[in-house]
Structure 1
Amino acid sequence: MTRRVLIAEDDGAVAAHLEQQLAGLGHDVVVAASGGEVIGQVLAGGIDVVVLDLPDNDRVRRDLSAAEFGGGVVVIDTVWAPEHLGGVRLPPITGDEGGTTSAADEGVPALHLHDLDHVGEAVEQVLELAQAGSGVEREELDVAATVAYVLSRYAPGTHMAGPTTGGVQVIVATLDPVAFEEFLVAVSEVVGVGSSVRLEHDGGKVAVVVTGARRDPAALEAVRTSLAVLGGRLVLTDEHGEAFSAQVPVGLSAWE
C-alpha cells in the first residue's frame, strides 16, 4: 500500500538514500530539512509516517504530539554514511542501561531504526503500532518492541524492527531474567552486521525472526537450548540455519 512518508533529514546524502528506498517501494516521499518544515507538512495533512533524523528530534516529537499527528515516527538511531563518502557504519546509539527512549508519553508511536537499508520495513511496522491504538494489541506490540530493544544491546550491528514504546521492565517481569539474558546472548552469537531481525507477535507470544544468520551449528544449538529453558521453541526456516524463528512465550499479566 502506498504511504505518504516525510523524511526529516538535514544530511542530503542520507535523505537521498532513504528517499530512493521508499520511492522504490512505491511510497509518495517528501523531504524536510528542519523541524519547522516537518510540522508545516504535517499540519497541511496527508502524512502517514515521519522518518526523523534532526538535531532537535525530541522537540520535533513533542511538536508532533501537540499537532495531534495520527501517524507514526521512525527515529534514525545510527551514524551512517553512503559508500561514496567512505561507507561508514557505526553501531546504533542506545539509551542508558535498563531503559529506552520512548514516545509513549508524548502520544506518538515511535520505532528506532538501526539500519537505514530497512527503512521500508520500519515504515510498515510503525504504522501497525499507530493503527493498533490502545488495548491488548498495542501492549503485545510493546512487548515485541522491548525484545527488540534489549536484543539490540547485544547485537548492535543488526537491524531491530519493532515499535519502541515499551520498557525493558516488562520482559524482566514476565520472564526469568537470567534465562532471558542467556537467550539474548545466544542469539547475538549468530547475528551481526548484514543480519535482519524482526519481531512478530501472536497473543502472549513473541517470535524473534532472524534471516542472514551466521552458519554456526553450535551457536544455533545454544539458541535452541536457551529457548527450551524459557519454555519456547526454535523453528528453522532454512536448512543451513541462516533463517529461523525463536518463539518466546511472553505473558502480559505483569504489564505495568
Structure 2
Amino acid sequence: MAKRIDVSDLDIFYGSFKAVEGVSMSIEPRAVTAFIGPSGCGKSTVLRTLNRMHEVIPGGRVEGKVLLDGQDLYAKDVDPVGVRRTVGMVFQRPNPFPTMTIRDNVAAGLKLNGVKNKARLDEVVEKSLKGANLWNEVKDRLDKPGAGLSGGQQQRLCIARAIAVEPQVLLMDEPCSALDPISTLAIEDLINELKERYTIVIVTHNMQQAARVSDQTAFFNLKATGQPGKLVELDSTSKIFNNPTEKATEDYISGRFG
C-alpha cells in the first residue's frame, strides 16, 4: 500500500508571495520522514502540498512536480479530493467532528465515499480504532461524542479516521504539540507501528521526537523573514543529528539558532 513520493523543483506560492523555493526530495515508503526547521521556514507548507491541502487557501499554487509512485499529483486530470483520500492528514490540534459519535467520526470518510452497508462500516470502524491503538479504550462507548475523549485519545481518533479510508501516505503536522508527555509517547509508539503499512511524513519542532520516530530527516531554513523557505538537506536521521553536511543544520540541532 505505501507509496514513494518524489518532489522536484517545487516552488510554492500564496498569490504573488513565494513561500518556498526549489525543493527537491524523495520520501521513502514504509518509513517516517521528519521535517524540522525554525518557524516560518515552510515545512508545514511543503507538507500540505503533498496532498494539495495548501490549495484550500486562496491564491495557493505550486510550480514543479510532486509524484506519487510516478503519478503527478498536480496533473490536470487529477482530482484533489482523490489525492486527499490517498494521502491522509492529521493536524496539529485534535479535530474530531464535535457533533458526531466516536463511531461516526471514524466512518465519516467512508460515508462520504458512498459506503452505506452497516456491517462493512462497523468492520472498518473496529479495524481502524485497533490500528490507532484506541479500540480497547472506546469499544464500550462508540455512540458517545468523540469530543468527550481526552486530548491524546482525540488525536488517535483522528488518526483512526484518517486510516479508515485506507490511504497510502499519512501526513502529520505537529501531531503531539498539544498533548501531554504520556499521550505524546502513545502517538510516537503508534507512528512506529503505522510505518509498517504507510509512508509517513511528520512536521515537528521537537528535536528529540524527530530523532526518536523518524528514519530520515529534512531540515528547512530561510535566509531572512519574508524570504522563501528552502530545503537545506535531507539524509538519514542518524546522519542529520550526528554528522550533518551543512553547518546551518548543525547550528539548528545544537540550539545555536531557532
Give the structure-1-normalised TM-score. 0.27
Structure holding more strand per residue: 2
Query: Which fold has the larger relative contact order, with Cα–Cα distance below 8 Å and residues 6 or more apart in sequence?
Result: 2
